[in-house]
Chain A
Amino acid sequence: MKREIPVLITLIAGVFCLIGFFVPHPWVRNGYQDLQNWALILVGLTYVLGVANVLRVNVDGIQNRHKDWIYKIVLVAGLVVMVVIGFAAGDGFLDASSQFSWMYRNFYTPMSATMFSLLAFFIASAAFRAFRIRSTEALLLAIAAFILMIGRVPIGNAIHPIIPASADWLMEVPQNAAKRGILIGAALGVMATGIRLILGIEKTYGSGEGGS
């Protein structure tokens, strides 16, 4: 029963949502939207579990002096301070002038931007490895990348107009063809996975009763 009831709920909800995709009539569509709203409410409730997990893991780390426990104090303090300030501000906690927004803009946003900016260096190091020519395929990749990079900057056109035109052709024809092939395959994969779950064929997770 531990497995059958969730499968039955998934089957009913899944088939209903599948029908709701094709039927715009309010008798179906309203139920379809209600189901989606229930999912949102459930996800909202899981935040309580998520925050409890963050506190449990980090407070435990502080109490037992795990490695780098000092940073866990910063994390827990940050969590508590933001929650307190957010609740103190009431309904207007997201207003641009609120203390909550000020802290978000002045603490979190710069740190987030710093992480994102690391991407530039990582792209350089990854590209260095990618363009080492070890095979015919790698040679083709390097030539395509070279044309594309030169074609996307003004010097490419200055050398010869055929370079930006070639770059456009690479993007519009071979790149697009490959991308659409992957997308069609992935879309069928989505359909297969969805149907497997709805029909209860996919038994490899959530069993706890000795899955395959």
Chain B
Amino acid sequence: MGDPILKLPSIVRTARAVASAAVLLCLGMAPLASAQVALRVSDTPNDAGHSIDIQWIAPDEHPAQWVVARRAGAEGAFETIATIDGSATSYNDVGEGVEDGVAYQYRITALPEDASLASAISEPVSAHPDWFDTTKGNVLVVTLLFFICLFFYIGQAQQGKTWTFRHIPGLAAIEEAIGRATEMGKGVLYIPGVQDIDDIQTIASMILLANVSRTAAKYETPLNVPTNSPAVYTVAEEVVKSGYQDVGRADAYRAEQVRYITTEQFAYVAAVNGMMLREKPAANLLLGAFFAESLLLAETGHSIGAIQIAGTANVHQLPFFVVACDYTLIGEEYYAASALLSNDAKLLGSLKSSDTVKIVLMIIVVVGCILASSGLNSFGEWWSTTR
């Protein structure tokens, strides 16, 4: 019997080797007797191809660096594709150098060279693109559920079914605000946020602008729309023009009603605040995506005594609007506004489907909480969008 302390590293190594073998078996790969480092090579899942994942279990003492080499087919010389840190346990071989459908073999060697720290040659693996990203299965389920509910409720709406929705004071106030501006002989300022037209909040704002422009045209109330993106400007111009045409007031539309100001955030704020202070509109409608400029705009509007209605889905700006504006459309209310204003059966059907999916999601959240509290995390993990 020698000193047990001196024997400990070999015991640890044996234990690690057994553990490694167990892990590798679990991974579906037989441990290699002649090499300390065994590779697990597989096609990268849920990708567009041209990518292979290489994994290995760190040896007891890792080298300074690993040299990753690859060859196409089972013959030929290996070509070094990367030299990576010795503490790494994986490498993603990605790029046009990896051709889809071609079988590649890999091996890793230590740097400085150490024969005991080298892998065997891996099994041949080929990359291929996937037709479905399985990490988005949860999103697909919700999307399909939404479509099913939507078509079901649209069908019901077409059969004459009606639903009652919660009254949103901010929506009723939009027409009231335009009416007030008409009585005062002043204008309405419509601010569609500071994001470009690719933002869904800006698109929702354009839908609301259509309603607002029709009402303003009907009441013959001046409507001004300063925009901070040329793309939003071109869309807003068409929307306002169409709104005036829809109520037979195309002649009342003036080109300078919809203006492009600037894409710079605070320069835009300066210009819009200037318009507020000079023209003193009776109503300010702040509907869109807002950031740091929200309070600068809303407080200036408050200082001139305008009735202010805001709507945004940017959670961090909601408190500012709640404080500085008379009415605020919060999150989903903002998106529901156009449907509620139009009173169109199909649009209301889409709101009903949104509410139904929300109830389903609430049940999922509650079930997930109960299961997670019971130690069953797989349900919650499947619904996670950050996998």
Query: A interface vs B, CB < 8 Å?
Result: 18, 21-26, 29, 39, 42-43, 46-51, 53-54, 56-57, 60, 67-68, 108, 111-112, 115-116, 118-119, 122-123, 125-127, 129-130, 179, 182-186, 188-197, 199, 201-212
Contacts and interface: CB of A to CB of B under 8 A. Distances in A.
B13 interface: no
Given A29-B48, A189-B313, A189-B332, A202 B347 contact: yes
B256 A119 contact: no
Contacts of B233: 46, 49-50, 53
Interface string B209-236: 1110010000000000000011101100
A201 B292 contact: no
B350 interface: yes
Contact of A205 (B210, B298, B347): B210
Contacts of B231: 42-43, 46
A43 B323 contact: no
B91 interface: no
Given A119-B295, A182-B318, A189-B336, A43 B46 contact: no
Interface of B: 46-49, 129-133, 136, 139-140, 142-143, 146-147, 150, 154, 196-198, 200, 203-204, 206-207, 209-211, 214, 229-231, 233-234, 238-239, 241-242, 245-246, 255-256, 259-262, 264-267, 269-270, 278, 292, 295-296, 298-299, 313, 315, 318, 320, 322-324, 330-332, 334-336, 338-339, 341-344, 346-347, 350-351, 353-354, 357-358, 361
Given A57-B259, A191-B354, A186 B323 contact: no
A129 B331 contact: no
Contact of A115 (B146, B242, B256, B270): B270
Given A126-B323, A210-B246, A201 B347 contact: yes
B246 A211 contact: yes
Nearest to B46: A24
Contacts of A192: 146, 335-336, 339, 350-351, 353-354
Contacts of A206: 210, 238-239, 242
Given A47-B230, A108-B267, A201-B346, A188 B295 contact: no
A193 B49 contact: no
Given A25-B129, A49-B234, A205-B206, A211 B269 contact: no
Nearest to A197: B203
A186 B331 contact: yes
Contacts of A48: 230
A29 B48 CA distance: 8
B358 A184 contact: yes
A186 B312 CA distance: 9
Contacts of B136: 21-22
Nearest to B331: A186
Given A43-B231, A193-B204, A212-B342, A116 B292 contact: yes
A125 B324 CA distance: 9
A110 to B, nearest CB: 11
B59 to A, nearest CB: 34
Nearest to A130: B323
Contacts of A108: 264, 267
Nearest to A127: B323
Given A25-B129, A53-B233, A183-B315, A194 B200 contact: yes
A38 to B, nearest CB: 12
A116 B238 contact: no
Contacts of A199: 150
A208 B238 CA distance: 9
A108 B263 CA distance: 13
B215 to A, nearest CB: 12
18 contacts: A25-B49, A46-B234, A49-B234, A50-B260, A53-B233, A115-B266, A118-B296, A119-B296, A126-B299, A182-B315, A182-B331, A189-B313, A191-B146, A196-B339, A201-B344, A203-B344, A204-B341, A211-B246
Nearest to B343: A212
A189 B331 contact: yes
Contacts of A194: 200
B334 A189 contact: yes
Contact of A119 (B154, B262, B292, B338): B292
Contacts of A125: 299
A122 B203 CA distance: 29
